[in-house]
Amino acid sequence: MLKTTPFHPRIAALCKSHAWRRWAGYVVASSYELSHEREYHAIRVAAALFDISPLYKYVVRGKDAARLLDRVVTRDVTRASIGQVLYTPWCDGLGKVLDDGTVARLGENTFRMTSADPGLRWLEQNALGLDVAIEDVSDSTAALALQGPYARAILQQVADCDLAGLKYFRLMAARLRGVPVTISRTGYTGDLGYEIWLDSAHALELWDALIDAGAGYGITPAGMLALDLARIEAGLMLIDVDYVSARKALIESQKSSPFELGLGWTVDLKKERFVGRSALAEEAQHEPQWRFVGLEVDWHSLEGLYAELGLAPQLPGAAWRMSVPAYAGGEQAGYATSGGWSPLLKQYIALAHLQSRWAAIGTQVEIELTVEHRRKRAAARVVPRPFFDPGRKRG
């Protein structure tokens, strides 16, 4: 049976579309309304409220908590200050990515880690001989993401503290209309936004408080379809869609290193010891084989493919998640894994893995497009990720 999240009673009442999907064994809304369109726009213009409770969450406590996490992830956890949040991947012994998520330093010896896949066993295996306690709080901790230009104004209505000082990738403890929470300035939309972590018991109370406080600011409960478009615009990857966890890969070529996923910046080789270090140190000597890039499909090329058949261009209304070949120089240069039409940018965009020699910004490639049952190729250009990066995200 699928589980429901602590917010489900409210969400079920609002989910007019009856469009549900699974996330980590939970049932979550794909969209609330018949189309996800308004939910998507709310992310960029007002504020969208997402239930992100299905994330896996672990609290790591003890004298060696920092040491354990520093040993597991690629970034330097020991230097994280209290209240700092790190986005980071973690790897297997051969330097291939297992998962990506966040590590938040709640106190000197207390951390919360979030992951897309279950990670308790991996943490425990790496904790041998360390003085730590690892607790799986996935079910007992509920979480909401409030994302969009008015996220701060709404939260400030109900918060007992000043949010103006809360910087990007920092967190603080607070009470929201009396409900104890931690608020992190994080998110998966590439916009101004916050994630709110709380005891599941207070979930509905907090939901109601936010909906009430946000009414004048256009707060909009939003589902996964809207989130998917926003995260592609933000150039953010998704496990099982854009990469395969080394834990699940059946063959070697399915695995990726952080360098191949554009996460080289998270690999801190100054650290003496962490899982996968020697393989990553070796790989850092060379150009990675693959790069993870943004692609912008050329509109005239796309329009031309349809015009040949007397059709107007047909564009996907929602983001797609599948492997789509990309070509350059007469060979298959790589493949796109997520894409869609950005209503904001008026661009057809995709996230793609390209062999490094084709991955420089500005390189012209082609992407496969099925037009009236036939496989065609549309011109595309390698562009920087993120596609959309408003100043308010960090400002």
Q: Of 218, 264, 304, 386, which one interacts with another protein (CB under 8 A)?
A: 218
45 sits near another protein (criterion: CB under 8 A): yes
Considering the complex, state which of residue 301 and residue 356 has its C-beta at the smaller distance from another protein: 301
Closest to 54 in 3D by CA, of 188, 149, 252: 188
388 sits near another protein (criterion: CB under 8 A): yes
Residue 362 CB neighbours (<10 A): 8
Considering the complex, state which of residue 118 and residue 218 has its C-beta at the smaller distance from another protein: 218
41 sits near another protein (criterion: CB under 8 A): yes
Q: What CA–CA distance (Å, rounded) separates 301 from 265?
A: 34
Considering the complex, state which of residue 99 and residue 298 has its C-beta at the smaller distance from another protein: 298
For residue 390, give Cα distances in angstroms to 149, 190, 273.
10, 8, 36
Q: What CA–CA distance (Å, rounded) separates 257 from 307?
A: 41
35 sits near another protein (criterion: CB under 8 A): yes
Q: Of 341, 363, 385, 393, which one interacts with another protein (CB under 8 A)?
A: 341
Asked whether the beta carbons of 224 and 30 are under 8 A apart, the reply is yes
**Helix spans in 159-223 (H):** 203-214
**Least distance in Å: CB of 54 to another protein?**
28
34 sits near another protein (criterion: CB under 8 A): yes
Q: Of 313, 332, 355, 377, which one interacts with another protein (CB under 8 A)?
A: 313
Interface region with another protein, contact rule CB under 8 A, candidates 65-73, 170-178, 215-223, 280-288: 215-223
Backbone torsions φ then ψ of 130, nearest 5 degrees: -100, 150
Interface region with another protein, contact rule CB under 8 A, candidates 5-13, 64-72, 214-222, 266-274: 214-222
385 sits near another protein (criterion: CB under 8 A): no
Q: Of 269, 315, 360, 361, which one interacts with another protein (CB under 8 A)?
A: 315
| E strands, 6-160, in order | 19-23, 26-31, 47-51, 56-61, 85-91, 97-107, 110-115, 133-136, 141-147
Q: Of 8, 10, 44, 170, which one interacts with another protein (CB under 8 A)?
A: 44
- DSSP annotation of 69 reads H
**Least distance in Å: CB of 351 to another protein?**
18
Interface region with another protein, contact rule CB under 8 A, candidates 40-48, 114-122, 197-205, 361-369: 40-48
Q: What CA–CA distance (Å, rounded) separates 317 from 36?
A: 9
**Least distance in Å: CB of 4 to another protein?**
26
Burial of residue 43, with CB atoms counted within 10 A of its CB: 0-12 exposed, 13-18 middle, 19 or more buried? buried
Q: Of 28, 46, 319, 333, which one interacts with another protein (CB under 8 A)?
A: 46
Task: Show the binding pattern over residues 152-191: x = contacts another protein (CB under 8 A), - = does not.
Answer: -x--------------------------------------
Residues 133-152 that bind another protein (CB under 8 A): 150
| All residues at 6 or more sequence positions from 93 whose CB lies less than 8 Å from its CB, including other chains | 275, 276, 279
| All residues at 6 or more sequence positions from 13 whose CB lies less than 8 Å from its CB, including other chains | none
Asked whether the beta carbons of 111 and 104 are under 8 A apart, the reply is yes
345 sits near another protein (criterion: CB under 8 A): yes
212 sits near another protein (criterion: CB under 8 A): no
Closest to 394 in 3D by CA, of 190, 172, 102: 190
344 sits near another protein (criterion: CB under 8 A): yes
**Least distance in Å: CB of 150 to another protein?**
5
Burial of residue 125, with CB atoms counted within 10 A of its CB: 0-12 exposed, 13-18 middle, 19 or more buried? exposed
Residues 98-137 that bind another protein (CB under 8 A): none
38 sits near another protein (criterion: CB under 8 A): yes
Asked whether the beta carbons of 353 and 292 are under 8 A apart, the reply is yes
Asked whether the beta carbons of 292 and 257 are under 8 A apart, the reply is no
Q: Of 215, 309, 322, 361, which one interacts with another protein (CB under 8 A)?
A: 215
**Least distance in Å: CB of 13 to another protein?**
15
User: What 3-state class would DSSP assign to 253?
Assistant: helix
Give me the residues that bind another protein (CB under 8 A), please: 33-35, 37-38, 41, 44-46, 150, 153, 215-218, 299, 312-315, 317, 341, 343-347, 388
